[in-house]
Amino acid sequence: MTGLQEQLHGLWLPLVTPFRDGALDERSLRRLTRHYSGQAVDGFILGATSGEGMTLRDAELERLVAIVRDELATAHSKIPVCLGLSGADTSRLKERLDETADWPIDGYLIASPYYVRPSQRGLLAHFEALADQAAWPLALYNIPYRTSVNVTNQTLLRLAGHPNIIGLKDCGASREQSIALLRDRPAGFRVLTGEDANYFEALSDGADGGIVLSAHLETATFAAVHAELKRGNHDAALARWQEVADLTRLLFTEPSPAPAKYWLWRAGLIDSPEVRLPMVEIGSELAIQIDREIERRMQVAA
């Protein structure tokens, strides 16, 4: 297995991208990175869905990677970093792979092409072309409710045979498909759930870990769910999961990552809850709910 393949398990954080007055908030980004480098996090995803990657200019994305890697080096942390890329133009994505080949990353998370709805043969050719081009290993990202196309298990199993394709972020929204993939996948092909609300369920079914936005909060508890299940302590894992299950619903009451950014702002980890259009900051009703939940958890912890 490649180095990243060995590390692609456990709790991965799709790091939010902090903004302030329309610009990348570098001070908050450094604070976030320092904070989570000291938590039970097994890897970072940068510039993907939760990181509002589709709104980032190329120079901002490069700066984002550089700052995170600099802070990790300062903290003597060996947390791996994957870069999120997406698009519907295979040729342009190949160019982006070339442009980012010398960036200080460990791999890529690449979503299915959106809007164009290619056939399974088209998806196979698309991902194979990217894997052939990439200087770093690829994890695929299947999320049909955003892209309008599902990568079937037949296609995924063929792609899993490519030496530069090492895993999957699974947001397929079908437990039956996920279980079948976990049963049939080749040795070493990693599957991590990307569905926060299904984190415990997916781990119980045999997933290798999760890429979980909600783990920005109560990080240690999310990590403990995985650790307890690995030790075979199902009841202990379930008890820990019940401590955070409601968070995974609250943080997706309005489009993500706006609710999580509001919470992180209230917690003092970022200087602004700002998101970029067409995302908007959360409404007053949800803000009140989150404030109450923050206060409740502070009282429980006291």
Residues involved in catalysis: 141, 169
Contact (Cβ atoms closer than 8 angstroms) between residue 72 and residue 83: no
Contact (Cβ atoms closer than 8 angstroms) between residue 223 and residue 237: no
Query: CA-CA distance, 6 to 9, in Å (whole number)?
Result: 8
Contact (Cβ atoms closer than 8 angstroms) between residue 18 and residue 57: no
- For the chain, the C-alpha Rg in angstroms (whole number) is 18
